[in-house]
Amino acid sequence: MDTIATTEMDDNLLEVIARSLPNLRKSDRRVAEAILAEPSKMIEMTLAELARTAEVSEPTVIRFCSAIGCDGFRDMRVKLARSLAFARTTSHSAISTDDHLGAIIGKIFDFNLSNLNWVRSKLDPSAIATAVAALSKAKRIEFFGFGASAIVARDAQQKFPLFGVPCGAPTDGHQMFMTAAMLQAGDVAVAISNTGQTREVIQATRLARERGATTIGITGMDSPLLRYCDIGIVAETLENTDLYTPTISRLSAMVIIDILSTAVSLAQDDRHRERVADMKRHLAEMRMLGHY
Amino acid sequence: MDTIATTEMDDNLLEVIARSLPNLRKSDRRVAEAILAEPSKMIEMTLAELARTAEVSEPTVIRFCSAIGCDGFRDMRVKLARSLAFARTTSHSAISTDDHLGAIIGKIFDFNLSNLNWVRSKLDPSAIATAVAALSKAKRIEFFGFGASAIVARDAQQKFPLFGVPCGAPTDGHQMFMTAAMLQAGDVAVAISNTGQTREVIQATRLARERGATTIGITGMDSPLLRYCDIGIVAETLENTDLYTPTISRLSAMVIIDILSTAVSLAQDDRHRERVADMKRHLAEMRMLGHY
DNA sequence: TATTTTTATGTATTTTTACTACATAAATGG
DNA sequence: CCATTTATGTAGTAAAAATACATAAAAATA
């Protein structure tokens, strides 16, 4: 694990400009203000035009560029364009309530993105590797999830074409228990629980293991569930304030399922992948035509 | 329908380039390949340098620029920079069978992260605002989702404590249709479909609207579904290579649900939020003790 | 306050960069 | 195989960006 997608900041020039506004020379500030006022228009402008708009001379614009740490006007424009890609669409209608909403939107995205990044950095590739190996050999896969995690289990189950073997996701406790009881060597049980403390899931997992199935646990922290798992995948998320619903735990679990299913699918032979592609094509047609 | 969601697909220039690769002239393709190979280096290059790197003449580079719909080299560079802000490490490099697991993990995370970022930047806050207003006043909320989107609908339904009113998420087509038929003015139907073409969901939404309910559509693109929606929320994702399962569409829809539920919850009074906090505490205890 | 020094900004000029007109080469079609 | 179209490069032009220098403003010192 070496790549870390820096979510933002280092190339957010607009931010840099806004922050350095007070330290700028008078004329430079004029330029800064002109840019901040309508950034999207600025990137279409030429140096001379920008100078005219900001009512300063051309060299001033260039000096402004180096003042904010850019290597000339060209570089500034490129950095600005990058930064602009992140800028929210705050074009018009800035009502106060709307403004508040904007903050909520921003925070929730930020929260989920940075958490996903965190999960990635903490993820143990070797656990994934072992899990992929186990899943690739499985004759049958059952996903155990309860409550919020049931959604993830169902998501996983829907990816059965990628896994290439029958997949199940029993939802209620009894079904889960019965399913676990019917597993045997060669089968794999994937237990999903953010807290890792959900009784139903733990019991089902223990039983599945007793029956000889390989057990994989996907959880948000080190927890009781992992005691009954041959392979533990921990999707460690950052601390969670009360305001945020723990959507992130589901998101990260789903990304892990995405990784597992993709990796398993890639491990299979070409014919299998052809069948998957074929299936997708048919699904698309089916949707379009509107009948089954 | 008042969605805007300007489908500025040309914002994602890398995608445009990659896709138009086969239709390009031989020399132009050389330029395209040079850019795709190392986009981040290209934006630092001058026209002449790029021409040299791609081993073509300067006018060819300019012709390439207009071929992919840019207004000259300068414009191309700006658009490329924008696109690059999201593309991070690998967005367009498809996962291949010979990728090692570490690469797969990295690519899938990158893909989902940059896509989520893209969704955020394209999200129309005013649509969210209207949706929040409608949901806050709702007497009852029904989430319609089919297939993969059923998962999102269920996720939304599970957040009913935040919405503060009874929420449903009928899963099979008939139930969905019957539910829609029973809706009335004051109710809200939230239709979730990435393609926006799923027949069941469209029919249910149309019916719900006929019955007087307010209809909200969460979809991945401008689509037929939105015709029957009073409010359209478009979670525009980047183009999707075939090997990636469209997990991203579910992720982004879930984040949007997260935003909606949080915003609705915040709009309610303190007593409501206290009840939610209380409920969470009990849930935690329940899990620990292992009995109901 | 007057004078010097420093800093900020504009004018004029040069250099670089992007673009265009035209010519030649390659490809296509009859 | 020749005519016609299409693709690509050469050479030159327009433009944009950057620089050197000069002047104005401000700050510091006497």
Tokens of B26: 């031989």
Query: Which CA-bearing residue is nearest the C1' of D8?
Result: B60
Confidence of residue A161 (pLDDT cuts 50, 70, 90): confident
B241-287 residue pLDDT tens: 445 557 899 999 999 999 999 889 888 766 666 766 776 666 666 55
**Sheet with strand B214-219: strands edge to edge:** B167-168, B140-145, B187-193, B214-219, B231-234
A107-149 residue pLDDT tens: 788 778 878 877 887 899 999 999 999 999 999 999 999 999 9
Compute CA distances B169 → A204, A248, A283, whole Å: 27, 21, 23
Q: 0.85 exceeded by the pTM?
A: no
The answer to whether A198 touches A226, Cβ cutoff 8 Å, is no
Tokens of A52: 């005219």
Q: Is the pLDDT of residue A20 over 50?
A: yes
The answer to whether A58 touches A27, Cβ cutoff 8 Å, is no
B191-239 residue pLDDT tens: 999 989 999 999 999 999 999 999 999 999 889 999 999 999 999 887 5
Burial class (CB in 10 A: 0-12, 13-18, 19+), B134: buried
The answer to whether A189 touches A216, Cβ cutoff 8 Å, is yes
Measured between CA atoms, the residue of chain A closest to residue B100 is A263
B124-164 residue pLDDT tens: 999 999 999 999 999 999 999 998 999 999 999 999 888 98
Rounded to whole angstroms, the Cα distance separating B55 from B27 reads 9
Using DSSP's 3-state secondary structure scheme, residue B24 falls into: coil
Tokens of B245: 């399962």
Residue B254 and residue A259: Cβ atoms within 8 Å?
no
Measured between CA atoms, the residue of chain A closest to residue B42 is A78
Confidence of residue A285 (pLDDT cuts 50, 70, 90): low
Minimum-distance CB partner of B123 among A85, A105, A159:
A105
End-to-end CA distance of chain A: 44
- Residues A63-80 as b or e (16 or more Cβ within 10 Å = b): bbbebbebeebbbbbbbb
Highest mean pLDDT among A236-240, A264-268, B156-160: B156-160
**Strand D closer than 7 Å to the CB of A64?**
no
The DSSP bridge partners found for residue A234 are: A219
Residues of chain B in contact with residue A148, where contact means CB-CB under 8 angstroms, are: 155, 158
Rounded to whole angstroms, the Cα distance separating B159 from A108 reads 15
Q: Look at residue A89 in the predicted model and tell me its pLDDT.
A: 33
Residues of chain A in contact with residue B78, where contact means CB-CB under 8 angstroms, are: 43-44, 77-78, 81
Better pLDDT: B287 or B59: B59
Rounded to whole angstroms, the Cα distance separating A48 from A42 reads 11
